[in-house]
């Protein structure tokens, strides 16, 4: 299956890291049956999963590879946006440097891309980020299993930092980059989750077009995924999707003849996985990421992407980032046993909590009737859960009860 992008978007350089076909979408039949027992929820909601954890042959496939596809050309270019910075002569990047929480999936994906490109990788892991390490009863295990083990297997140099900048507001990264330069290396810095990178939102803007192309196959000619539920961590996955769907909606509206039924856009809902910062903080960031991607793909960022397009839900963030609390644990086990699908303990389990709540208590259908501007009496609403990966962290959570 192929799909085409509008010209401005299609011209942006992308280095393939994913399989040359879309990541699969499949129904979640057991979950759909379970959640539609509520008589209040008519019409029924059909649930599907898009498997971003099956998107790439590289280690521990997850959502960061899609973002990195648009960043690699910059890494390889001699006038990169985030690489060696000002310099008199162009030098090729030697070392990718990135950071994350101890069990960061992002750092593993960067380490694996470094291998693919023949570069070194340095991953900086912060012990103070989130609650995973604190909650773990065997800290030694948490610090060497799961993603930490995999980053090392991939040949990355793992540096663990005790603090975080909360202690004295110092920036631990600049001295590391300077140290590498002093050794004659040319580091390329990739911020956490690649979200603050100017190109970080493009991968998921493209993914919106991939999803739209898959709708026909999955749902028939006029079917669409009315709701898309996705994790919001650093924010450019949800931001990119918003930008991509806005561009699609614009194209679809231009194509539509005047007599056709009103097209209702797909609604993206970002589920926050950390209670540390308020929802408004994340909404501001996601709006920026969406607008930055929107600009690059040919939209008018201010007019075409508005604060109303950013919908984040902070009710399922649980006790802390990276902490697998009792409710999340139950959700993880439920999905494993009913559906045979494993979600990750940090992000997708919280998205699942959100999806289940939205459907089970009828919030999704209420929202749908508001958007339809009438009471839906029949038919189905389709909701897509984006499985962004991350299961490789699970072994670090083995002892948590």
Ligand X SMILES: *Cc1c(COP(=O)(O)O)cnc(C)c1O
Which sequence positions are flagged as catalytic?
A: 104
Closer of 84 and 203 to ligand X (Cβ):
203
Beta-bridged to residue 385, according to DSSP, are: 49, 229
Candidate residues 23, 47, 62, 133; the one interacting with ligand X per rule CB under 6 A: 62
Candidate residues 41, 103, 388, 392; the one interacting with ligand X per rule CB under 6 A: 388
Question: Does residue 389 touch ligand X according to CB under 6 A?
Answer: yes
Closer of 44 and 400 to ligand X (Cβ):
400
CB 110 to ligand X: min, Å? 11
Tokens of 206: 């493209």
Question: Does residue 131 touch ligand X according to CB under 6 A?
Answer: no
What are φ and ψ of residue 161, in 5° steps? -110, 140
CA distances from 254 to 73, 224, 243 (A): 32, 18, 17
CB 259 to ligand X: min, Å? 40
Closer of 22 and 193 to ligand X (Cβ):
193
Closer of 105 and 249 to ligand X (Cβ):
105
Integer-rounded Cα Rg, in Å, for the chain is: 21
Site map (CB under 6 A) of ligand X, residues 86-125, x = contact:
-------------------xx-------------------
* DSSP class per residue in 208-269: HHHHHHHHHHHH-TT---SEEEEEESSSHHHHHHHHHHHHHHHHHHHHS-TTSPPPPPPEEE
CB 223 to ligand X: min, Å? 26
Question: Does residue 147 touch ligand X according to CB under 6 A?
Answer: no
Candidate residues 55, 63, 147, 249; the one interacting with ligand X per rule CB under 6 A: 63
Beta-bridged to residue 123, according to DSSP, are: 98, 158
Candidate residues 23, 195, 288, 382; the one interacting with ligand X per rule CB under 6 A: 195
For residues 217-276, which are near ligand X according to CB under 6 A?
231-238
CB 109 to ligand X: min, Å? 8
d(CA 222, CA 241): 20
Candidate residues 390, 394, 396, 397; the one interacting with ligand X per rule CB under 6 A: 390
CB atoms within 10 A of CB 151: 26
CB 163 to ligand X: min, Å? 22
d(CA 268, CA 308): 11
Closer of 72 and 186 to ligand X (Cβ):
72
Site map (CB under 6 A) of ligand X, residues 326-365, x = contact:
------------------x--xx-----------------
Question: Does residue 193 touch ligand X according to CB under 6 A?
Answer: yes
d(CA 259, CA 277): 46
Residue 145 carries which DSSP code? S
Contact range with ligand X by CB under 6 A, out of 41-49, 114-122, 168-176, 383-391: 383-391
Helix axes 63-76, 202-219, angle to 10 degrees: 140
CB 349 to ligand X: min, Å? 10
Q: Which residue is nearest to ligand X (CB)?
A: 390
Closer of 63 and 382 to ligand X (Cβ):
63
Q: Does residue 397 contact residue 322 with C-beta atoms inside 8 Å?
A: no
CB 39 to ligand X: min, Å? 33
Q: Does residue 67 contact residue 194 with C-beta atoms inside 8 Å?
A: yes
Q: Is 270 helix (H, G, I), strand (E, B) or coil?
A: strand
- Count the site residues for ligand X by CB under 6 A: 20
CA distances from 224 to 46, 117, 213, 337, 359 (A): 11, 37, 10, 28, 17
d(CA 361, CA 156): 45
Give me the half-sphere count of Cα atoms (radius 13 Å) on the Cβ side of residue 330. Answer: 5
Contact range with ligand X by CB under 6 A, out of 177-185, 256-264, 295-303, 385-393: 385-393
Closer of 63 and 95 to ligand X (Cβ):
63
What are φ and ψ of residue 43, in 5° steps? -70, 175
- Residues lying near ligand X in the complex (CB under 6 A) are found at 62-63, 105-106, 193, 195, 231-238, 344, 347-348, 388-390
């Amino acid at each position: 299956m192929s799909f085409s992008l509008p010209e401005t978007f299609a011209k942006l350089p992308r280095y393939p890291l994913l399989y040359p076909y879309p990541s699969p979408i499949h129904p979640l039949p057991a979950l759909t049956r379970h959640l539609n027992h509520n008589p209040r929820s008519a019409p029924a909601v059909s649930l599907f999963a898009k498997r971003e954890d099956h998107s790439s042959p590289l280690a521990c496939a997850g959502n960061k590879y899609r973002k990195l596809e648009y960043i690699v050309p910059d890494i390889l270019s001699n006038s990169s946006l985030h690489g060696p910075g000002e310099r008199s002569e162009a030098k090729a990047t030697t070392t990718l440097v990135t950071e994350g929480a101890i069990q960061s999936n992002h750092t593993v994906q960067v380490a694996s891309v470094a291998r693919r490109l023949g570069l070194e990788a340095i991953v900086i892991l912060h012990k103070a980020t989130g609650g995973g390490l604190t909650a773990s009863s065997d800290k030694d295990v948490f610090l060497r299993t799961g993603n930490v083990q995999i980053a090392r297997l991939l040949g990355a140099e793992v540096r663990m930092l005790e603090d975080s900048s909360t202690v004295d507001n110092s920036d631990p990264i600049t001295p590391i980059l300077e140290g590498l330069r002093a050794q004659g290396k040319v580091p390329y810095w990739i911020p956490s989750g690649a979200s603050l990178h100017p190109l970080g939102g493009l991968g998921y803007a493209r993914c919106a077009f991939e999803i739209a192309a898959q709708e026909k196959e999955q749902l028939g000619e006029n079917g669409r995924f009315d709701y898309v539920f996705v994790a919001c961590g650093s924010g450019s996955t949800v931001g990119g999707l918003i930008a991509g769907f806005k561009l699609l909606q614009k194209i679809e509206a231009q194509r539509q003849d005047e007599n056709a039924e009103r097209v209702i856009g797909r609604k993206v809902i970002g589920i926050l996985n950390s209670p540390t910062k308020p929802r408004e903080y994340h909404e501001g960031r996601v709006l920026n990421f969406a607008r930055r991607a929107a600009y690059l793909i040919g939209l008018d960022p201010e007019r075409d992407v508005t604060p109303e397009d950013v919908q984040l839900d902070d009710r399922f963030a649980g006790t802390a980032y990276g902490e697998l609390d009792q409710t999340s644990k139950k959700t993880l086990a439920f999905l494993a046993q009913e559906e045979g699908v494993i979600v990750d303990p940090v992000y997708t389990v919280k998205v699942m909590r959100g999806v289940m709540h939205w459907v089970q208590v009828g919030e999704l259908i209420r929202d749908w009737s508001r958007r339809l501007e009438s009471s839906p009496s029949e038919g189905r609403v389709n909701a897509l859960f984006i499985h962004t990966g991350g299961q490789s962290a699970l072994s670090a959570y083995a002892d948590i009860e």
